Amino acid sequence: MCCLPDSDGDGAFDAVSFCTPSNSGPHADNCPLVPNSNQDDADKDGQGDSCDTDDDNDGIQDTNDNCRAVVNTNQEDTDNDEVGNDCDNCPLNANTDQADEDGDGNGDICDLDNDKDFNLDFIDNCPEDYNPNQEDMDGDGVGDVCDNCPEESNANQADANNNFIGDACDSILDDDKDGVVDIHDNCPSRPNSDQLDTDEDGLGDECDDDCDGDGIADVDDNCCCQPNPNQTPSSFSQRGAVCTADFDGDGVIDSEDICPEDRTKWTTSFKDVSFHDMGQTSTNPSAVWEIHDDGLEVAQLASSQASMALSDTSFGPVRFSGYMYIVGEDEGIEGAAGVVFNYQNNKNFNLLSAVRTGQNKGFWKLTRVSSATGHPSDALKDAIYMRDQPNHSDVAGETLIPWKSTELDWEAGVAHYFSISVDPETQTIGLIITNGPYIQVNTTIVEMDALRGGRLGMYAQEQPLVYWTGLRTECFTPPRVHYITCDDNLTAYFDGVEAPHKASMDRWEETSALSYGPTTNLLAVSCTSNDGGGGIIASGRSGRYFSDGHKWRCSAELEADWMQPGFDDSAWEEATELGPSMMAPWGPRSNIDPRASWIWTDDPTDATVYCRRTLD
């Protein structure tokens, strides 16, 4: 077996391979004990910049060099912003952050038109966002595309809870717990933190029966993310020709797309992040965050006060993965580190974190922040981590801990892989954590009253030299589930294989959640009514495949192999719709889409019926 070690988890193999000579095979890591996924080496000396004390080899140590990757022995810095002229994108205007919104090499502070919308910044009502027409419906001087309250005047753009909605038009009501308050949610009844609206009709895809607005209902559309009213079929799949290789039409083929059904997301990047202090007071310095490798690697270098780096992008179902690596020896390291997910506002988010091995001051734990104070506050900071405390208990009014380890934590100098899978619909969180090649944690947490989507990020407190590398975000496709019940006794088959029987399948008052595989094409069910007047109601996740009189076919006659995919049901009648989901005597059932109908054969006296539908 060939083993190619990667000690720091940055995707570059270590200098020594156990099965390939040093002059063949993959290139060795030019910095094997410090993550540097881009393998930058400014002076080409074979030592990566992340572990080179003089990156540009100009004789000035990086700690004192105002242009670490560019030779500048004179260290000239005209604008005194601690960035040398030779590497300053605005050498005559102080801009330590070197912000360059449009990536043209000219820093924003000296770029006359940052967003290239042909409106000079000093008159542009959204200087960082392209808006050539300068629409401003509320007349507050802030353009609609960058206004956090576009319909209510708020020139100061105050947003105390950091949810991207201005205080002037914010609310606390969020029925679906997706982080978007109801009055601004384009689908307030179903969690959709990403607010995806493919056809831009104001109705989120999660609530839209025709996401692409082509006049073909999604349940019948062979390309539901791209308009194709003629439904021209593909020669290679069951999809339409227009979306054969690129389902969402974002220009990235599905095999390379992190979110094949979301045209707004196609690659992982943490370039656009904001930095936030967790507390208000600290004896530690401010955090020093760095973004590497075009946003695929993030580092926090200081023994700092509690801080987070948060992405601007919200996800619903998501798998967030990568490696967390702390450089250095164990001795003297006293801080905490981890990752943030489901961030909805400064009072509500999830945090996976731990401290160094052997301290007994905080093993791996999943924290549900439900804070009365919100960050920045010392109450929240201390509820998450306090030095010399066990840090394993709920703190009233601030944090809950739905899961924790009693013995596992992180180890310095070891790459810890993490994978977090968020499923808003079932309110589950899947966790995988490793210590080097060894699995530490592999579990699924069911969190009732869970947060159902949000932003992602990183967290560090009093812990220097933390790297998050090999980062990947991808829209998580949860396991396929069909929710179904019948009055009275249900049996279900997927592609002819009987689903495991559950007690709920003999009680119409309860909805059964039946899982099936990604290649399944047929659902077949039988239902026996004990007292006459039977009915069946069903829907898949996110409302797909709901029971109706269009796609479902039913019969009262038992025929051989009726549940098999190859059975010809063309002689069966379309199901008869008895009425809407809330009809008496049953009423609405849990997890069943309200668009579903109770169905049966056309004869209400039939004691047992057999129904089928394709899952295309």
Residue 22: pLDDT over 60? no
Are 384 and 521 found together in one domain?
A: no
Residue 519: pLDDT over 80? no
Q: Say how far residue 584 (Cα) sits from the centre of its chain.
A: 40
Are 462 and 490 found together in one domain?
A: no
Alpha-carbon distance of 479 to 469, in angstroms, equals 27
Instruction: Note the pLDDT tens digit of each residue in 172-208.
Output: 999 999 999 999 999 998 899 999 999 999 999 988 9
Are 457 and 514 found together in one domain?
A: no
Q: pLDDT value at position 16? A: 56
Q: Which residues of 566-592 are buried (b: 16+ CB within 10 A; e: fewer)?
A: ebebeebeebbbbeebeeeebeebebb
Instruction: Note the pLDDT tens digit of each residue in 84-134.
Output: 999 999 999 999 989 888 888 999 899 898 888 899 999 999 999 999 999
Domain assignment present for 433: yes
Are 400 and 544 found together in one domain?
A: no
Of the candidate ranges 71-85, 114-128, 291-305, 311-325, the one whose mean pLDDT is the lowest:
114-128
Look up residue 510 and give its amino acid.
Answer: E
- Which of 457, 475, 493 corresponds to the end of one domain? 475
Q: Which residues of 428-465 are buried (b: 16+ CB within 10 A; e: fewer)?
A: bbbbbbbbeeeebbeeeeebeebbbbbbbbbbbbbbbb
- The DSSP symbol for 236 reads S
Q: pLDDT value at position 3? A: 56
Residue 294: pLDDT over 90? yes
Q: pLDDT value at position 384? A: 96
Q: pLDDT value at position 330? A: 53
Name which residue leads in pLDDT, 350 or 219. Answer: 350
Are 509 and 460 found together in one domain?
A: no
Domain assignment present for 305: yes
Name which residue leads in pLDDT, 278 or 595. Answer: 278
Name which residue leads in pLDDT, 590 or 497. Answer: 497
Are 496 and 431 found together in one domain?
A: no
Are 301 and 348 found together in one domain?
A: yes
Tell me phi and psi for residue 320, to 5 degrees: -115, 120
Q: Say how far residue 440 (Cα) sits from the centre of its chain.
A: 23
Are 382 and 505 found together in one domain?
A: no
Are 457 and 605 found together in one domain?
A: no
Q: pLDDT value at position 141? A: 96
Domain assignment present for 605: yes
Of the candidate ranges 84-98, 330-344, 430-444, 456-470, the one whose mean pLDDT is the lowest:
330-344
CATH number of the domain bearing residue 405: 2.60.120.200
Q: What is the pTM of this model?
A: 0.81
Are 401 and 460 found together in one domain?
A: yes
Total tally of structural domains belonging to the chain: 2
Instruction: Note the pLDDT tens digit of each residue in 545-558.
Output: 788 888 899 999 99
Q: pLDDT band for position 396 (50/70/90)? A: very high
- Which of 424, 444, 475 corresponds to the end of one domain? 475
Domain assignment present for 37: no
- Which of 458, 475, 492 corresponds to the end of one domain? 475
Domain assignment present for 74: no
Q: pLDDT value at position 509? A: 93
Are 543 and 435 found together in one domain?
A: no
Give percent above pLDDT 90 in the chain: 76
Domain assignment present for 604: yes
CATH number of the domain bearing residue 559: 2.60.120.260
Q: pLDDT band for position 593 (50/70/90)? A: confident
Residue 147: pLDDT over 90? yes
Domain assignment present for 85: no
Domain assignment present for 588: yes
Are 413 and 512 found together in one domain?
A: no
Average model confidence (pLDDT) across the chain: 91
The answer to whether 245 and 258 have CB atoms below 8 angstroms apart is no
**Residues contacting 122, CB < 8 A, separation 6+:** none
Alpha-carbon distance of 52 to 540, in angstroms, equals 55
Of the candidate ranges 24-33, 309-318, 366-375, 425-434, the one whose mean pLDDT is the lowest:
24-33
The answer to whether 278 and 385 have CB atoms below 8 angstroms apart is no
The residue assigned the tokens 């260290």 is 75
Tell me phi and psi for residue 543, to 5 degrees: 85, 0
Tell me phi and psi for residue 86, to 5 degrees: -70, -15
Tell me phi and psi for residue 184, to 5 degrees: -115, 0
Q: pLDDT band for position 595 (50/70/90)? A: confident
Q: Which domain holds residue 551?
A: 480-614
345 by Cβ neighbours in 10 Å (0-12 / 13-18 / 19+) ranks as buried
